[in-house]
Amino acid sequence: MKLIDGKQTAQDLKKDIAVEVADFIRQYGRRPHLAAVLVGEDPASQTYVRNKEKDCKEVGMDSSLYKFPDTITREELISCVQTINDDPEIDGLIVQLPLPDHLDAQEIIETIDPSKDVDGFHPVNVGRMVLGLPSFVSATPAGIADLLEYYKIPTQGKECVIIGRSNIVGKPLANLLSQKGPGGDCTVTLCHSRTKELDKICRRADILIAALGRPGFLKANMVKEGAVVIDVGISRVEDKNTKSGFRLAGDVDFEQVAPRCSYITPVPGGVGPMTRVSLLKNTLKAALKHIK
């Protein structure tokens, strides 16, 4: 069993990105620039946005934060997005989710200029990805694809089973891994709450991806000997033995499952750190596209 070290991989990839960013600056005389829109005071969202700013700095990109109280109106938020859309100095734009209940997240996302939609949430980017056209792939699916590539795990002709059909992980990932070409060509089965005999289906998988958000869900009897297991889940579970009173848990019962795997991602330190790298890659890609 080999542990897939997402933290280390992310560090390595960030170094590559930093080199590309330095090239970009030399060639075009400015830094790629990511703008984040943050509404309200959700502590987790604040941390995510802070980390994204830190990542930008680390690879030499500019970032800016548009921060609003959760009383912001729909019109004000849309107007802010449009201002950023029109700003030629800004390459990428993310709206940190979730938004307060009075705002329609889907509507706001569809206001983002698809060429700046580095989260890859705009339907145009989802559609272009499905159709195999150049697009921004959302952070988690792209991060998983990068991990598989980094560890030289073959995908062509492999049976891949994905548990969970969310719009930000399961569905785009199923489409991404079944695309024609390198890093794709998997035979993908997408499973969900209505799937019958899930255990049996999971045992078919050469590459098994758990993205349903239920801590410790995937047990050893659901995993074929030698499978690659990717754990996308990240939940807080109570743990009296820690100072904080909780710990982070993935969807995989790691202790049970790990001995059966050829490769497995831990939680934390697996898929998580890779998602932040995807955002940087997309922002650099957006900047290059805007130059052209």
Q: Catalytic residues, which ones? A: 52, 96, 119
CA dihedral 6, 10, 12, 14 (to 10 degrees): 180
Q: How far apart are CA 100 and CA 42, in angstroms?
A: 10
Residue 206 CB, nearest approach to a copy of itself (Å): 10
**Residue 159: φ, ψ to 5°:** -85, 125
282 binds a copy of itself (CB under 8 A): no
Q: Which of residues 97-116 bind a copy of itself (CB under 8 A)?
A: 106
52 binds a copy of itself (CB under 8 A): no
Q: Which residues contact 128 (CB under 8 A, 6 or more apart)?
A: 134, 135
CB nearer a copy of itself, residue 108 or residue 174:
174
Beta bridge partners of 38: 67
Q: How many CB atoms lie within 10 A of CB 259?
A: 12
Q: How far apart are CA 229 and CA 117, in angstroms?
A: 29
Q: How many residues bind a copy of itself (CB under 8 A)?
A: 35
Q: Pick the binder of a copy of itself from 14, 52, 116, 171 (CB under 8 A).
A: 171
127 binds a copy of itself (CB under 8 A): yes
Q: Pick the binder of a copy of itself from 178, 235, 256, 262 (CB under 8 A).
A: 178
CB nearer a copy of itself, residue 232 or residue 249:
232
188 binds a copy of itself (CB under 8 A): yes
CB nearer a copy of itself, residue 17 or residue 173:
173
Note the Cα 171 to chain centre separation in Å.
12
Q: How far apart are CA 177 and CA 184, in angstroms?
A: 4
x-or-dash pattern for a copy of itself, window 143-162, by CB under 8 A?
A: -------------xx-x---
165 binds a copy of itself (CB under 8 A): yes
CB nearer a copy of itself, residue 29 or residue 181:
181
Q: One-letter amino acid identity for 6? A: G
**Which one of the spans 136-144, 173-181, 210-218, 240-248 is the region binding a copy of itself (CB under 8 A)?**
173-181
235 binds a copy of itself (CB under 8 A): no
CB nearer a copy of itself, residue 90 or residue 174:
174
Q: Pick the binder of a copy of itself from 131, 221, 237, 242 (CB under 8 A).
A: 131
Interacting residues with a copy of itself (CB under 8 A): 106, 122-128, 130-133, 156-157, 159, 165, 167, 171-172, 174-175, 178-180, 185, 187-192, 194-196, 201
